[in-house]
Amino acid sequence: MTSRAGTAPSIVWLRRDLRLADQAALLAAAQEGPVIPVYVLDDETPRNFRMGAASRWWLHHSLACLDRQLRGIGSRLILRRGKCHEELAAIRRETGARTVHALHHYEPWWRNAESAVAKTFRLHLHDGNYLAPPGSILTGSGSPYKIYTPFWNALRERMPPAPPTPEPTSLEAPEVWPRSDNLEDWGLIPATPDWASGFREEWTPGEVGACERLQDFAGRAGGYANFRNLPSDDCTSRLSPHLHFGEMSPATVWQSVADAGGSVEVFLGELGWRDYAQTVIIQFPEYGSRNAREAYDSLNWQTDRVSLLAWQQGRTGYPIVDAGMRELWHTGWMHNRVRMIAASFLVKHLLIDWREGERWFWDTLVDADYGSNAVNWQWTAGTGVDSNMFVRIMAPLTQSPKFDAADYIRRWVPELAHLSDRDIHDPAVPPTGYPAKIVDHAAARARALAAHDRMKHG
């Protein structure tokens, strides 16, 4: 079966690259003739890394946006559910497509899926979801980097990335469209209870929303270096879910921010962390579930469901931690400084294995990302390949005034909203409805250091 032009259509296999602009797979397929854009849901992913509820909410809206955009240029998005190689093979039978174009992805399950697809298709994998192809930035001796700073220095030398390519203005349709699922039938968005009202207030998933967010941020990126650690100021880009779902390429972000001028080096370095995380998971595919420093397997981690629940619900009695955890629940996102404080609190104050925190973030973050989540959790816990941070125990009650979090706490912990800028970080007597501290800072710190010592010395 062939198209009107007599050319078999090509499949564009979309995953975390839900955009039209700077999309090398789409561009290459369009140059060959008719195009069938396809998204396959889920069965490839191991059960414990199936997309969490927050990510599914995002995915629904991002796919709807992409379909609208594709229809605007004469195409549409085909939705299928199952194993990618089986669904793509079925589409081949329905349409005669023999070639698949896709962007590279580095999660271990995607690499396996690519091998399976390559058995029945001419599979062309393109770059473009990272600043440089992950795995291409190597030390002088030709091995991949394990530590962020030298990795970034080497990556920076290769920058800027190639200029982004524009989105296609039309796509040739195949003679026959394959069957497609109905997005509404996938049940990605919550019905009862509808917990996503805070998400709707905060986000516009999809490439259109991503462009608006970038435009807004580029104009104020010059203030990022000074204010990025202040959770009360809305000064970071909030591009993370858009970047995670590939609704815009990092090259597009780089170009817009660099073109805006001003001092943006710190921001570009943060973008570099995204690439670094991929370098790590290529070397350590099980990074999301195994300690890179195996000695930490024997640390006396606590199984403490009550404290874990208090942390998840933002009821630890530490206002900055609780504000962060409630922001996460309400919006699917948390400020980076507060992520660090909340993560350190779980691992060190509560002595709970980082994987419990990683799981919770996986389910609740709209930017939940296999590489970035694992790298940041293992970094905080000191179990990772980068510098060992276990003994750096963040003091939430010091961090909170240091980073001027009073208004942030007021917003997310209304029980404390009436307190003064001085008292809100550590109320002497918890007001009605707000819990007392679930652990004492000094005692928790001493317990963590003692546990670490015992692990080290046998």
Going by the annotation, the residues of the binding site for FAD are 224, 236-240, 267, 367-369
- 254, 354, 360, 379: the catalytic one is 354
Kindly state whether residue 55 participates in binding ligand FAD, applying the rule CB under 6 A.
no
Least distance (Å) from ligand FAD to the CB of residue 135? 17
The first and second tokens of residue 444, run together, are 């928790």
Give the residue from 7, 176, 11 showing the smallest Cα distance to 95: 176
Query: What is the spatial distance between Cα 394 and Cα 372, in angstroms, rounded to a whole number?
Result: 20
Please select the residue that binds ligand FAD; options are 16, 101, 330, 339, rule is CB under 6 A. 339
Structural contact between residues 425 and 397, judged by C-beta atoms closer than 8 angstroms: yes
Nearer Cβ to ligand FAD (56/228): 228
The order of strands in the sheet holding 122-126 is 78-82, 35-42, 10-14, 99-103, 122-126
Binding residues for ligand FAD, total number by CB under 6 A: 27
Under a CB-based contact definition with an 8 Å cutoff, are residues 364 and 328 in contact?
Answer: yes
Site for ligand FAD contains 213 (CB under 6 A)? no
> Number of C-alpha atoms within 13 angstroms, CB side, residue 153?
7
Window 380-399: residues binding ligand FAD (CB under 6 A): 380
Among 13, 121, 152, 377, indicate the residue that binds ligand FAD (CB under 6 A): 377
Q: Which stretch binds ligand FAD (CB under 6 A): 265-273, 287-295, 313-321, 429-437?
A: 265-273
Catalytic: which of 109, 177, 186, 301?
A: 301
Q: Look at residues 396, 397, 378, 399 and name the one whose alpha carbon lies nearest to residue 387.
A: 378
Q: Choose the stretch contacting ligand FAD; rule: CB under 6 A; options: 115-123, 190-198, 361-369, 386-394.
A: 361-369
237 lies in the binding site for ligand FAD (CB under 6 A): yes
Query: How far lies 361's CA from each of 315, 329, 349, in Å?
Result: 17, 10, 18
3-state secondary structure 78-119: EEEEECHHHHHHHHHHHHCCCEEEEECCCCHHHHHHHHHHHC
Compute CA 133 distance to the chain's CA centroid, rounded to the nearest angstrom.
Answer: 18
User: Taking the complex as a whole, how short is the minimal distance between the CB of residue 280 and ligand FAD, in angstroms?
Assistant: 10
Closer of 169 and 313 to ligand FAD (Cβ): 313
Residue 379 annotated among the catalytic residues of the structure: no
Contact 386, 146 (CB under 8 A): yes
- Which of 277, 409, 413, 444 touches ligand FAD (CB under 6 A)? 277
Q: Which of 27, 365, 393, 439 binds ligand FAD (CB under 6 A)?
A: 365
Q: How far is the CB of 6 from ligand FAD (least distance, A)?
A: 43
Q: Nearest 5°: CA angle at 285, between 332 and 205?
A: 25
Residues in contact with ligand FAD by CB under 6 A are 228, 236-240, 243-244, 270-271, 273-274, 277, 336, 339-340, 343, 361, 365, 367-369, 372-373, 376-377, 380
